[in-house]
Chains A and B, each alone.
Chain A
């Protein structure tokens, strides 16, 4: 479903602020793979995700989603294939627009937007049913501005928007990191439900090793702009935090199993 071939990305090349973020990443996701991504700060997790989403072009390599080479496509055209939820709850929704308007925008992802009415009655009913599945009471506040919602509610809504039109690839960029533990757990549970229901191919970055182990059928760890560890199948099921830390020490060649970077 997703094929990443040797992508490289350097920020501020040729200046004192030069930062090599991706040093040749190769990654293939099969249809229905749910991959969790961990790694310390600056390991390249977010850069990888943004490169796939098309936020910025890569310096080298190619990205193919569902057989379509998207390497040269701008962000808004890749959106046809990709659903995204961001770390910042403010980022995934339009605060000054209504809940139902946000959903209507998401329902048209990947389609032309003409002079037809922006939201029709039939959609409204469908959204009401859909919002009810979140169990947050949002179905009764469909014309409220999204800016009035809490961070957790906004993330849940963004998740719904990202998956409203079934994406070929779902990108979750630490989407529970800014939430309190209880809300984070709830949003993660909803995430799991939607991914299972729609059998979505998913790439989920997380800071939380336990979450990374508990969710998905495959786990990758990034280190210094590369995929350093790739565990799947039975091995993934048997993974523990201790085992993961040991693997990291091996890869990074240092004993001080950077718990500051990895644990949370």
Chain B
């Protein structure tokens, strides 16, 4: 019974984390599902978002302005990956890895701005000292400063904005680029521009998630983005596996990534309660992603007939 109570007590925290990672997962959905690019920039741009937000807040900025700065920094990171990929002709995966690697150095520098040290791996933003948008401190409070309130608002607004954008001419050309680049070019769509734009938007969202995460946990750390792409993919895929039959609408598909992220963190909370160490989680995450990516592949390979129908229906 104690176990159950403790688990229930930690549920709000899991949902809070899930909502923040839902933002990151929606960013990854754009590159992974819409553009068909596995963008590994994410591990770095998440930290960049966290670092920039934390830095700006410690410099006395308004937290909204700090979050905006974080988003812009993430968009810049996405642009760099897009530049490597389209202008320099580097394969997308490698382009992302290069940016991510470069960002490691950049992020250490960002967090040390205004400090006597030249590089810094942690930058604290305590809710005692600064005005923050979200903080884990209030996660169980029945009040408006509960981070869940703002995160739900954020999620709804971001889904609405993305839904609108992907219905516009520009958004449609982005979807066409991911669906069939040959056709897109034949219809006069600049596929390189679309890829860069998608990477910019995606990493802007990831950095926003990073900026929120830093505030939520009270610090920005250099390794907070390690494996972020895998966690975000896990969220996207869990959401799809569980909800793709019910959620056909684009907005609902985005929502399923958020729900996937929440489920992911609830499960993580559970296994931590069961005695797993937090350092074991990367292994667990990798396995979850591997398994959920394997299932559709094997289904296609060994039961191709029934699955092909399903794929085209869900596509």
Question: Which of A's residues lie within 8 Å of B, judged by CB?
Answer: 53, 74-77, 79-80, 84, 86, 90-97, 101, 104-106, 108-111, 113-119, 145, 147-148, 161-162
Contact = CB atoms under 8 A, between A and B. Distances in A.
A108 B176 CA distance: 13
A53 B312 contact: no
Contacts of A76: 184-185, 188-191
Nearest to A145: B315
Contacts of A92: 182-183, 186
A104 B171 CA distance: 12
B73 to A, nearest CB: 24
A92 B179 CA distance: 11
Contact of A109 (B170, B182, B188): B188
A87 to B, nearest CB: 12
A94 B175 contact: yes
Given A75-B185, A79-B185, A115-B169, A145 B190 contact: no
Closest 8 CB pairs of A and B: A79-B188, A94-B179, A118-B172, A113-B169, A96-B315, A109-B188, A147-B312, A94-B180
B189 A95 contact: no
Nearest to B193: A76
B17 interface: no
Given A79-B188, A105-B189, A109-B187, A118 B179 contact: no
Given A145-B312, A148-B312, A161-B187, A94 B170 contact: no
Contacts of B304: none
Contact of B172 (A75, A90, A101, A147): A101
Contacts of A90: 180
B251 to A, nearest CB: 15
Nearest to B36: A96
Contacts of B312: 95, 145, 147-148
Given A79-B187, A92-B183, A92-B186, 4 more contacts: A106-B187, A145-B313, A145-B315, A147-B315
| Most chain A Cβ neighbours within 10 Å, of B171, B182, B183 | B183
Contacts, number: 95
Contact of B188 (A94, A95, A108): A108
Contacts of A118: 167-169, 171-172
A145 B186 CA distance: 19
A46 B180 CA distance: 20
Contacts of B180: 90-91, 93-95
Chain B contact residues, majority secondary structure: helix
B186 A79 contact: yes
A251 B124 CA distance: 81
Interface residues of B, number: 25
8 contacts: A76-B191, A86-B182, A91-B183, A101-B175, A111-B188, A115-B168, A115-B170, A118-B167
B173 interface: yes
B184 A117 contact: no
A76 to B, nearest CB: 5
Given A105-B172, A118-B167, A80 B188 contact: yes
Interface string B145-175: 0000000000000000000010111111101
Contacts of B168: 114-118
Contacts of B186: 53, 75, 79, 84, 86, 92, 162
B167 A94 contact: no
A119 B173 CA distance: 12
Contacts of B190: 74, 76
B189 A104 contact: no
Contact of B176 (A75, A79, A97, A111): A97
B161 to A, nearest CB: 12
A101 B168 CA distance: 11
| Most chain A Cβ neighbours within 10 Å, of B172, B173, B188, B191 | B188
A104 B244 CA distance: 26
| Most chain A Cβ neighbours within 10 Å, of B168, B171, B180, B312 | B180
B179 A96 contact: yes
Contacts of A162: 186
Contact of A94 (B169, B171, B184): B184
B24 to A, nearest CB: 23
Contacts of B167: 117-118
A166 to B, nearest CB: 14
B188 to A, nearest CB: 4
Nearest to A106: B187
A95 B173 CA distance: 14
A152 B314 CA distance: 22
| Most chain B Cβ neighbours within 10 Å, of A80, A97, A118 | A118
Nearest to B179: A94
Contacts of A105: 172-173, 176, 184, 187, 189
A119 B312 CA distance: 23
Contacts of B191: 76
Given A105-B172, A109-B188, A115-B170, A93 B315 contact: no
